[in-house]
């Protein structure tokens, strides 16, 4: 197994010691997913009427021999397997449909709603547990630290509480970091890029396992309690996705347990729908934003729009918010009071009036947010490349996480100590007011910000009265937290970037409000208003979401009146940021070399033809095929789909001779057929086996045995299989003269995994997979655009 050196925050390498059971999986993925990639040689297979229309204009075409640098943005990994959303309409499916009829359709529909209900409830409960753990542990930690500060400040031995702080941070972060780095590397980061890839149709290994969920939950608690500049929102979204995958499939690979329920949902298509609902439920639980959850799932993840699915997703998010509100209100001592404002993460905002002439201010805020966001993304990107190149070993990653934990404490301590920003104790919401060097009856305002979770700090910036903070301390805080948060995202810990960016933005928003107040002293400027606008602008500049982010902010502050300013700010932030680079999630996805399909085909590519894009020669199977040949083929090549063709005439024996396409069969299907020994000695008694049904395939889904593990005797190899009852008899195909946009649209709209390319007489001449299409990528930079062709590599 090759050492995986891709972006650690998205797909981290497995450690040979602790992840021995997953190593097989990865190597299996490695082997089976290099779909046609390596063999793709861009041969000239044209028989068009007019070759003069060929030629690429303005395409940056990479040379295959160019050396691939780790951390390159221009490579696609051949390692990722695709999901297959196309239904295999073989005879078994028809049989099942006929036997079960409409009552089964109704029953499946009811089961779907029930599963969504479960997903909503469980996601909310997990979010609740994470919430409470973070709150309780943070309280304990900061109260102890306060005691220590109060004690040693009199003795002038402040280095003792400082060391205590550093040490506690490191110890707590160490737990999560070790878990992430050694046990489940895919649990690192926010999880949103991984979920986005999954929903786009790329199978990211181990991303929806229960083990990942456990590591993620513990990881995010340690990260936030450990004082890192990270949030819990991303991990909660990921948790929702895992819960959805687990419940809908009715089995767990981690616990090796099959509950034998919901078997009929064991296919990529159904699973994806549930995962998308789960991610939405996660957003909903993280922010108390049911509508924002649905929109997030649509804006960031979903490739397909379907009304029924959206309604189910909506139901899931409502259940999730409702459950969370019920348990949280009980926890806060207001049982059943579902409109208790303490249930909103950012606290209930007051409506603020705004005027027509404030429009330039909102646009300015948006532009600043876009610029700062682009800078944040750029720094984070450089850091990520550095990590991919040099911080590859798990222990190094743990050390880095501890370093950041120490740095966070140091930053906080220096700011509290050096900026003696004293404020009188009032009706301030801070839980741990620290006196430090302030006079009696005063507290250190920076300590109030640092001695709580980042989420509570955002609340402070959004709700504290005018004059709670000094401009200089705010400025230093912005600079400090901006750098800390961009350093933190991508560490070997589970933490998101929503809250840190909201905090940075709220801080500079408040700072600008103070500055404006100084410039226009005759009118009162509400700092809370601009803190909110700043928070939205900064986060929008980093993640580049608009609609879902607007709704999330509205729902989490419980105030719709502020919608228009927030929307304007977010749109400007997105435009400004997009001028420089892409959103942070897309940057990380590109660094991980994931073959993500964008929304639209690259423009001006109608002169790139399927014959250039496809890989060939194609390995085909005959409708009635020899078992030995199948075994041989599966062992030799690593492809996942094989066109089934008419039996060749007596004088044709080579597999590469083009044949009429009859269907498409998947590697997984062939393996299940071989496993169940569904072959006959006599080729003429085809499909006599009537007790074969779809459940045979569902039982194995999604992890099929490797061909090397099957034991097939020499005698068995002389048998034959009639593939016709099992194959997909009418796969979507395109002629070799179809253009790239045409391929792209078919692939994207239908969520395909394999697309056979045929010639004029319906003979298979090539195969197109996701990577062949994802290789063509459009770039936009500072108003210019063009198209580039990425390299495919099996090394990354």
Within 43-102, which residues bind a second copy (CB under 8 A)? 49-50, 53, 57-58, 87, 89, 91, 93-95, 97-98, 101-102
| Residue among 67 and 99 whose Cβ is closer to a second copy | 99
Tell me if 568 sits within 8 A of 359, measured CB to CB.
yes
H or E, element range at 382:
helix 359-390
Q: Whose Cβ is closer to a second copy: residue 185's or residue 347's?
A: 347
Report, in Å, the least distance between residue 581 CB and a second copy: 17
Write down the residue that tokens 């419980």 correspond to: 558
Q: Is position 730 an interface residue for a second copy (rule: CB under 8 A)? A: yes
* Residue 310 near a second copy by CB under 8 A: yes
What is the DSSP code (8-state) at residue 602?
P
For the purposes of burial, counting CB atoms within 10 Å of the CB of 507, is it exposed (0-12), middle (13-18) or buried (19 or more)?
buried
Give the up-direction half-sphere exposure of residue 543: CA atoms within 13 A in the CB hemisphere.
28
Residue pair 288/347 in contact (Cβ under 8 Å)? The answer is no
Place of tokens 């083009």: 658
- The minimum distance between CB 737 and a second copy, in angstroms, equals 5
Cβ closest to a second copy, residue 4 vs residue 321 = 321
Q: Closer to a second copy at the Cβ: 148 or 302?
A: 302
* CA proximity to 471, closest of 435, 424, 413, 517: 517
CB of 366 to a second copy, least distance (A): 12
User: Which positions from 100 to 139 touch a second copy by CB under 8 A, shown as an x/- string?
Assistant: -xx--xx---------------------------------
Per-residue contact string for residues 319-338; x = within reach of a second copy by CB under 8 A: --xx--xx--x-----xxxx
Using the rule CB under 8 A, is 473 a contact of a second copy? no
Residue 546 CB, nearest distance to a second copy (Å)? 6
- 315 in contact with a second copy (CB under 8 A): yes
* Neighbour count for residue 635 (Cβ, 10 Å): 12
- Say if residues 274 and 244 touch (Cβ distance below 8 Å): yes
Task: Give the chain's length.
Answer: 796
- Out of 371, 786, 788, 789, the only residue in the binding site for a second copy (CB under 8 A) is 786
CA dist., res. 119 & res. 110, Å (int): 14
Give the three-state DSSP class for 496: strand
Task: Measure the CA dihedral 12/14/19/20, to 10°.
Answer: 160
Q: Is 355 in the site for a second copy (CB under 8 A)?
A: yes
Binder among 45, 137, 264, 352 for a second copy (CB under 8 A): 352
Do 428 and 468 meet the contact criterion of CB atoms below 8 Å apart?
Answer: yes
Which one among 134, 368, 655, 738 touches a second copy, defined by CB under 8 A?
738
Choose which of 18, 139, 724, 795 interacts with a second copy (CB under 8 A): 724
685 binds a second copy (CB under 8 A): no
Stretch that binds a second copy, among 489-497, 551-559, 581-589, 611-619 (CB under 8 A): 551-559
The residue written with tokens 């912005």 in the block is 478
x-or-dash string of contact with a second copy, 634-673, rule CB under 8 A: --------------------------x-x-----------
DSSP 785: E
CB-CB contact of 8 with 385 (8 Å) = no
Per CB under 8 A, does 339 bind a second copy?
A: yes
Nearest to a second copy of 316, 394 (CB atom): 316
Question: What is the distance between the alpha carbons of residues 149 and 237, in angstroms, rounded to a whole number?
Answer: 37
Query: Which one of 44, 63, 599, 691 is in contact with a second copy (CB under 8 A)?
Result: 599
β partners of residue 734: 757
**What's the rounded Cα separation, in Å, for the pair 197 and 215?**
20
* Phi, psi for residue 387 in degrees, rounded to 5: -65, -45
Stretch of 196-204, 240-248, 400-408, 732-740 contacting a second copy, by CB under 8 A: 732-740
State yes or no: residue 546 binds a second copy (CB under 8 A): yes
Distances (CA, A) of 784 to 542, 580, 779: 21, 11, 8
Rounded least distance, CB 642 to a second copy, Å: 18
Judge residue 639's burial from the number of C-beta atoms within 10 Å of its C-beta, 0-12 exposed, 13-18 middle, 19 or more buried: buried
Residues in region 564-583 near a second copy by CB under 8 A: 564, 567-568, 571, 574
Pick the closest to residue 694 from 258, 96, 87 (CA basis). 96
- Whether residue 218 contacts residue 322, with contact meaning beta carbons closer than 8 Å, is answered with no
Task: Considering the complex, state which of residue 388 and residue 552 has its C-beta at the smaller distance from a second copy.
Answer: 552
Member of 45, 137, 264, 304 binding a second copy (CB under 8 A): 304
Min dist. Cβ of residue 237 to a second copy (A): 18
12 vs 275, beta carbon nearer a second copy: 275
CB 773 within 8 A of CB 744: yes
Q: Is the peptide bond before 784 cis (omega within 30 degrees of 0)?
A: no
Question: Using the rule CB under 8 A, is 560 a contact of a second copy?
Answer: yes
Under the binding rule (CB under 8 A), the answer on residue 257 touching a second copy is no
How many residues make contact with a second copy (CB under 8 A)?
100
Binding of a second copy by 729 (CB under 8 A): yes
Query: Is 506 buried (19+), middle (13-18) or exposed (0-12) by CB count in 10 A?
Result: buried
Among residues 111, 318, 422, 696, the one that binds a second copy under rule CB under 8 A: 318
Residue 629: count other Cβ atoms within 10 Å of its Cβ: 15
According to CB under 8 A, which one of 210, 428, 742, 795 is a site residue for a second copy? 742
- Residue whose CB is less far from a second copy, 396 or 683: 683
CA distance between the termini of the chain: 12
Among 471, 558, 628, 648, binds a second copy (CB under 8 A): 558
**Residues 148 to 187: which contact a second copy by CB under 8 A?**
none
Given candidates 294, 449, 491, 790, which one binds a second copy under the rule CB under 8 A? Answer: 294
């Amino acid at each position: 197994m090759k050492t995986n050196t891709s972006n650690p925050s998205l797909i981290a390498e497995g450690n040979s010691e602790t992840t021995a059971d997953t190593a097989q999986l990865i190597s299996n993925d490695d082997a089976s997913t290099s779909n046609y990639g390596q063999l793709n040689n861009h041969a000239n297979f044209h028989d068009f009427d007019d070759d003069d229309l060929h030629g690429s204009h303005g395409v940056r075409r990479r040379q295959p021999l160019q050396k691939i640098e780790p951390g390159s943005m221009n490579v696609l990994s051949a390692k990722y397997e695709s999901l297959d959303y196309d239904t295999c309409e073989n005879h078994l499916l028809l049989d099942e449909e006929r036997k079960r009829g409409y009552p089964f359709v109704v029953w499946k529909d009811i089961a779907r709603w029930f599963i969504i209900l479960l997903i909503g409830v469980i996601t909310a409960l997990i979010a609740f547990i994470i919430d409470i753990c973070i709150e309780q542990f943070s309280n304990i930690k900061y109260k102890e630290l306060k005691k220590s500060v109060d004690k040693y400040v009199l003795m002038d031995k402040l280095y003792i509480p400082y060391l205590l702080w550093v040490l506690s941070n490191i110890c707590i972060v160490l737990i999560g970091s070790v878990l992430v780095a050694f046990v489940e590397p895919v649990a690192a980061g926010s999880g949103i890029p991984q979920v986005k890839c999954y929903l786009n149709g790329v199978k990211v290994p181990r991303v929806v396992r229960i083990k990942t969920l456990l590591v993620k939950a513990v990881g995010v608690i340690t990260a936030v309690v450990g004082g890192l500049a990270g949030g819990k929102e991303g991990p909660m979204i990921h948790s929702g996705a895992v819960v959805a995958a687990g419940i809908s499939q009715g089995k767990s690979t981690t616990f090796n347990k099959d509950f034998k329920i919901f078997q009929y949902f064991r296919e990529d298509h159904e699973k994806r729908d549930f995962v998308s609902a789960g991610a939405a439920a996660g957003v909903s639980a993280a922010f108390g934003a049911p509508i924002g959850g649905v929109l997030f799932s649509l804006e960031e993840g979903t490739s397909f729009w379907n009304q029924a699915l959206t309604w189910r997703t909506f139901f899931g998010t409502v259940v999730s918010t409702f459950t969370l509100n019920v348990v949280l209100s009980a926890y806060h001592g207001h049982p059943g009071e579902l409109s208790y404002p303490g249930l909103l993460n950012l606290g209930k905002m007051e409506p603020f009036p705004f005027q027509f002439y404030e429009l330039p201010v909102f646009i300015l805020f948006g532009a600043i947010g876009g610029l700062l966001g682009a800078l944040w993304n750029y720094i984070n990107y450089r850091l990520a490349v550095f990590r991919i190149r040099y911080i590859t070993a798990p222990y190094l990653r743990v050390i880095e996480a501890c370093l950041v934990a120490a740095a966070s404490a140091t930053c906080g301590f220096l700011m509290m100590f050096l900026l003696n920003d004293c404020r009188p104790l009032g009706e301030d919401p801070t839980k741990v007011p620290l006196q430090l060097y302030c006079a009696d009856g005063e507290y250190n305002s920076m300590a109030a910000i640092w001695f709580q979770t980042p989420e509570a700090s955002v609340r402070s910036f959004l709700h504290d009265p005018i004059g709670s903070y000094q401009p200089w301390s705010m400025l230093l805080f912005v600079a400090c937290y901006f750098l800390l948060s961009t350093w933190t995202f991508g560490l070997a810990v589970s933490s998101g970037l929503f809250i840190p960016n909201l905090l940075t933005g709220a801080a500079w928003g408040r700072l600008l409000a103070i500055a404006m107040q100084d410039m226009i002293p005759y009118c009162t400027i509400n700092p809370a208003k601009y803190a909110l606008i700043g928070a939205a602008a900064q986060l929008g500049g980093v993640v580049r979401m608009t609609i879902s982010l607007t709704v999330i902010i509205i729902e989490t502050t419980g105030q719709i009146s502020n919608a228009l300013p927030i929307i304007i700010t977010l749109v400007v932030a997105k435009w400004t940021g997009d001028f420089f680079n892409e959103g942070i999630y897309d940057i990380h996805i590109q660094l991980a070399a994931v073959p993500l399909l964008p929304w639209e085909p690259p423009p001006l590519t109608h002169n790139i033809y399927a014959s250039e894009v496809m890989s060939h020669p194609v390995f085909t199977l005959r409708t009635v095929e020899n078992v030995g040949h199948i075994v041989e083929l599966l062992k030799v090549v690593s492809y996942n789909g094989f066109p089934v063709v008419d039996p060749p005439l007596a004088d044709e024996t080579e597999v590469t001779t083009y044949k009429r396409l009859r269907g498409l069969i998947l590697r997984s299907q062939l393996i299940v057929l071989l496993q169940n020994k569904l072959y006959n000695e006599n080729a003429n008694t085809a499909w006599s086996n009537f007790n074969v049904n779809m459940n045979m395939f569902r039982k194995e889904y999604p992890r099929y045995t490797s061909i090397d593990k099957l034991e097939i005797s020499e005698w068995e190899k002389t048998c034959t299989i009639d593939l016709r009852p099992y194959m997909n008899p009418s796969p979507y195909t395109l002629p070799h003269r179809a253009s790239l946009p045409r391929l792209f649209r078919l692939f994207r709209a239908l969520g395909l995994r394999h697309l056979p390319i045929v010639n004029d007489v319906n003979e298979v001449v090539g195969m197109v997979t996701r990577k062949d299409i994802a290789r063509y990528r459009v770039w936009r930079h500072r108003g210019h655009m063009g198209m580039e062709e990425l390299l495919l590599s099996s090394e990354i």
